[in-house]
């Protein structure tokens, strides 16, 4: 059993400590915005924020997050998140959309830490987020646009 906060709500999930956070979010809390991609932390589709840092929920055991603050795509907020989401729409980043929740979570985390990322910073921060449709150029462009909009 694990108790933690998801998007500002305290929750207790009665699942074994080794159950991945992803399954608690999707199967018990009905939060399906976080996607299952690979199950081995290689694709990034399951990325959520755990205590403010991006983490792959498919390999994050519930036993490791007791008391943690979880932020998912359903409620990611703040100026960086808003800027990223607006840029995603303006630049038409998504194609199939499967990776987008993880991409947006990682991009938001990047801009929270580094408001003026270089191409190399973006590539490094999103290296673990795979896009089956190869929209990497649009993703990078959208992150730069989001960063520019945050400048004022």
Query: What is the rounded distance in angstroms from the CA atom of residue 99 to the CA atom of residue 145?
Result: 19
Tell me the pLDDT of the chain (152 aa) as tens digits. Answer: 999 999 999 999 999 999 999 999 999 999 999 999 999 999 999 999 999 999 999 999 999 999 999 999 999 999 999 999 999 999 999 999 999 999 999 999 999 999 999 999 999 999 999 999 999 999 999 999 999 999 97
Residue among 64, 39, 52, 60 nearest 105 (CA): 52
For the entire predicted model, the pTM comes to: 0.95
Query: What is the rounded distance in angstroms from the CA atom of residue 42 to the CA atom of residue 106?
Result: 14
Q: How far is CA 29 from CA 22, 62, 74, 114, 143, in A?
A: 10, 13, 12, 32, 30
H or E element in which residue 2 lies:
strand 2-6
């Amino acid at each position: 059993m694990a108790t933690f906060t998801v998007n500002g709500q305290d929750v207790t999930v009665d699942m074994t400590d080794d159950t991945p956070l992803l399954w608690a979010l999707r199967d018990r809390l009905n939060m399906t915005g976080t996607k299952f991609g690979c199950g081995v932390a290689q694709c990034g589709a399951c990325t959520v924020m755990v205590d403010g840092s991006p983490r792959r929920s498919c390999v994050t055991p519930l036993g490791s997050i007791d008391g943690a603050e979880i932020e998912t795509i359903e409620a990611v907020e703040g100026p960086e998140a808003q800027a990223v989401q607006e840029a995603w729409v303006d630049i038409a980043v998504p194609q199939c959309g499967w990776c987008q929740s993880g991409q947006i979570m990682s991009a938001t985390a990047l801009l929270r830490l580094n408001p003026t990322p270089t191409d190399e910073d973006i590539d490094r921060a999103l290296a673990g987020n795979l896009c089956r449709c190869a929209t990497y150029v649009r993703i990078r462009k959208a992150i730069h646009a989001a960063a520019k909009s945050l400048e004022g």
